[in-house]
Amino acid sequence: MLKLRILTAFILIPLVIGGIFYLSSLSFMAITAVIMLLGSWEWSRLSGLIDIKKRVLYVGLQAMILLLLMFFPGLNPWRGIIIFGLIFWVFLSIYLVWARRRPVLPTIPVIIRAGLGWLIMSLCWVSLQALHLIPPYLLFMLLIIWLSDTTAYASGRLWGQHLLAPTLSPKKTWEGMIIGLLVTFLAGLLIQTLFKGVKPSLGEIFLIIVATGLASIAGDLFESQLKRLEGLKDSGHLLPGHGGILDRIDSLLAAAPVFAGSLLLLGLAL
């Protein structure tokens, strides 16, 4: 399983980086839309939809939403959506803080899970389009997610003693989260040298990494809650050794709107 995870990562990461810098806006829109629709297919299952026809309809409605958003390209109409996405994830994170303290896993009605899926996929997709206009920042966001996730997982396995949210995800630890954010911040200081033009200050780097890192954890925890509600280990089986699409982009779904929204609020880009 570990070998499959490493092999899949070695194949996907260069493709992702190449896409960031060399794909046209239209091509990037199309490819990320396909990824969101694959994620939507898996989300329909996590929402409690079993019937294939209902799941196809669910994905079809998500496709219509993305098509509508494509009619409003450019940063001006997207800025409001991105800020809304940032606010949305702040409130969803507050819910997760509440949920992690519950002795029993909180239930979420099917209709709410389904609606949240459409919203979350759409907010992430719009944020990715905006960030694609400034490739170094998009790569920076992905590095934050990859570094924080990887170091949090490794350090949690080695030194984790205190569970972060046992009701939602029994494996995440406080030690892993803190070490993951710290390592990512130190790496961010080095990555800062890649930026041209308006560069984030030390304080801004810290705020961006903390906000994005915490958002990536929130995205992971929320997907974990949905999987546990449905009694599933993975969201799907599309990626060898990694599970489904959602298992790979759950952090991104939250991190992209929060990262893009942070850039807007700090006046760094967008």
Please give the helix or strand (H or E) that residue 164 lies within, else none. strand 163-165
**How far is the first Cα of the chain from the last one, in angstroms, to the nearest whole number?**
40
Q: Report how far residue 210's alpha carbon sits from residue 181's, in angstroms, rounded to the nearest whole number.
A: 7
Q: How high is the pLDDT of residue 239? A: 59
Provide CB contacts within 8 A for 91, sequence distance 6+.
none
Q: How high is the pLDDT of residue 1? A: 47
3 state DSSP class of 170: strand
38: DSSP letter: H
What is the residue type of 183?
V
Q: How does pLDDT run along the chain (270 residues), one tens digit per residue?
A: 445 555 656 677 788 888 898 999 999 999 999 999 999 999 999 999 999 999 999 999 999 999 999 876 555 668 899 999 999 999 999 999 999 888 889 999 999 999 999 999 999 999 999 999 989 889 889 988 988 888 888 887 888 788 888 888 878 888 888 988 888 888 877 777 766 555 678 888 889 999 999 999 999 999 999 999 999 887 776 655 556 899 889 999 999 999 999 999 998 877
Both tokens of residue 132?
Answer: 């694609």
Quickly list DSSP for 50-66. -SHHHHHHHHHHHHHHH
Q: How high is the pLDDT of residue 160? A: 75
Phi, psi of 235 (to 5 degrees): -75, -20
3 state DSSP class of 168: coil
Under a CB-based contact definition with an 8 Å cutoff, are residues 44 and 56 in contact? no
pTM given for the model: 0.92
3-state helix, strand, coil in the chain (%, to 5): 75, 5, 20
Q: Which of 261, 189, 177, 187 is nearest to 220 (CA)?
A: 177
Q: How high is the pLDDT of residue 195? A: 63
Q: Report how far residue 164's alpha carbon sits from residue 98's, in angstroms, rounded to the nearest whole number.
A: 12
Q: Report how far residue 193's alpha carbon sits from residue 206's, in angstroms, rounded to the nearest whole number.
A: 15
